[in-house]
């Protein structure tokens, strides 16, 4: 059993990698985003990106910097099969998961204009923004000295594998296959 964590920039292809692992490799999927959306709905808040960040930061501040990831890791272990945990965004999450063993971190990135085009095309409630808003959100999420807050730059730097996703989905899938061979799945 292996648990693959995925981090990366908005619109880079995290969900596309998850879809490949689930459909083609039989992985079970655990989503930090879905976990946080459950909490947003429980609190009666509007589901938007600002509330996602606020609720996630609040959960981490009240529990631990790795709270969301630790909860998803527990669920993954209970499944007793290969799993993917999507959208790790804090260094605390990654440090905690790396200490647990059975864990590999994959980061995905692409250039900003391409990622923005992907975000606009997926038409989710949190992605209805201008390119300037997209860049501003990313800047806020990229670095923080607070272990409870997002720090995508450090998360990406901590990855065992970095995937540049600026080509076709088929090319991305080939890159994932190469990584799976290395980690012997």
CA distances from 107 to 61, 85, 124 (A): 24, 12, 22
**Domains of the chain (ranges plus CATH)?**
3-178 (3.40.50.300)
Give percent above pLDDT 70 in the chain: 98
For 67-81, the pLDDT digits (tens) are 999 999 999 999 999
- 133: left (phi > 0), else alpha (psi -120 to 50), else beta? alpha
Question: Considering the chain, what is the average pLDDT of its residues?
Answer: 92
pLDDT at 129: 86
Q: For residues 40-67, give the mean pLDDT.
A: 91
pTM for the predicted model, two decimal places = 0.88
Spatial distance between the Cα atoms of 20 and 4, rounded to a whole number of angstroms: 13
Residue 135 clears pLDDT 90, i.e. is over it: yes
């Amino acid at each position: 059993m292996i648990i693959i964590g995925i981090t990366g920039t908005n619109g880079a292809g995290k969900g596309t990698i998850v879809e490949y692992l689930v459909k083609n490799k039989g992985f079970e999927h655990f989503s930090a985003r879905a976990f946080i959306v459950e909490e947003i709905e429980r609190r009666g808040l509007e589901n938007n990106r600002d509330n996602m960040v606020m609720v996630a930061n609040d959960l981490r501040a009240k529990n631990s910097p790795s709270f969301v990831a630790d909860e998803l890791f527990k669920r993954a272990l209970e499944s007793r099969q290969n799993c993917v945990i999507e959208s790790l965004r804090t260094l605390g999450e990654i440090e905690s998961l790396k200490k647990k063993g059975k864990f590999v971190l994959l980061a995905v990135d692409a250039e900003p204009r391409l990622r923005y085009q992907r975000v606009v095309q997926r038409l989710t409630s949190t992605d209805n923004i201008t390119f300037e808003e997209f860049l501003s959100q990313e800047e806020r999420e990229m670095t923080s000295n607070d272990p409870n807050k997002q720090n995508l730059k450090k998360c990406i730097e901590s990855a065992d594998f970095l995937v540049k996703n600026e080509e076709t989905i088929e090319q991305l899938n080939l890159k994932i296959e190469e990584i799976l061979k290395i980690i012997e799945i």
